[in-house]
Chains A and B, each alone.
Chain A
């Protein structure tokens, strides 16, 4: 069995090798894409797909057997762990492992690839007052999400995607929407009085039941094995669980006593 410690060792060694004699054993890296690698389909990709970010890497390994492609899998899939320890690189031998040119010419290339999918944490929507609104007064809405990093594994190594919220799209359920650049926060944290307007508040004009939906758009960056962050093309929009709330009228009256304790009191 290949032990995780062995793999870590191999990775560390890789960092000190130049692009010298080992380069003929592979043809792609997780970042740059030359025209010849592109033509052969050996470039790694990173982009937004569906509900997450997919980071993929593909590379070519020269083997002796034309059938080995069916059996070779990346360690991430577990199959290569069946390989015996001695088949893996030992530090001093690494530079010698590149196949001889004659062998390369005589054998077919084997392409291996792996894709890791990363999904951001779901955002949540909050509102004040909770689940009710007063017609004509500001209701404060806010999103609870922030920039965060999601970890994953690609070819047995660490790959990370950092999601940064860039815009907040509110559908207030009353026919109005707004796209905001700020998440907003509670009245208390803004140090303002209740029902004061905030950059993220909204006024409902009619009583009724409303479903309020928040969608947060994230930008993403990725990095592989501790390299610097690289942008991922596109953005990702995630919808938070909707809020349901009732808007009603509120009337202010002067009363003599607590109307609950004395419902027949003056003003009640």
Chain B
């Protein structure tokens, strides 16, 4: 069976992008040692609680932007930082250009602390695992058709990393990875 050229060619582009780490990758610069930085959380429990709060806000703001078809993606600046902010905004612009829109509520479940590094500087200060459920979420294109992959799992675990942004005195998402899928 012959495929339309574009499909095959796009496959090539896709492949090289996937395999080459074309997009800003996980190679984040090492944490900055700042003598003046004092870790804001006294314990793992406090760090986890702060991370959960920051993540809930991230999901809320992201959801708001996506439900509005990607409009004003700069709103993410209050919850995301670093390279991840730039790539997220770019992705949202494409989302808007494609005329897509998200519907439904994305749920955030239990979180577990993977790591809190109070002495390593403000970057990548906290990493958590968090349960997500997006069974109620749909993404529609401009004609109202769902563009959600049939491979998508309703429930999955995310690994989320946070930087402490001193200017804003706030914990902000600097990286997010999808880990295992399935109930959590």
Contact = CB atoms under 8 A, between A and B. Distances in A.
B91 A109 contact: no
Contacts of A10: 12, 15-16
The A interface is mostly helix, strand or loop, or mixed, namely: mixed
Given A15-B20, A39-B106, A230-B26, A26 B179 contact: no
Contacts of B95: 36
A242 B58 CA distance: 50
B10 interface: yes
Interface string B149-184: 111110011110000000000000001111111000
Given A45-B156, A89-B9, A14 B94 contact: no
B138 to A, nearest CB: 8
A26 B17 contact: yes
Chain A interface extent, by class: 35 or more
Interface string A2-30: 00000100111111011100111111111
B13 A71 contact: no
A104 interface: yes
A1 B165 CA distance: 52
Interface residues of B, number: 72
A210 B156 CA distance: 43
Given A17-B22, A23-B90, A35-B66, A40 B6 contact: no
A102 to B, nearest CB: 11
B59 interface: yes
Interface of B: 1, 3-27, 58-59, 62-63, 66, 70, 84, 87-88, 90-92, 94-95, 97-100, 102, 106, 129, 132, 134, 137, 139, 141-142, 145, 147-153, 156-159, 175-181
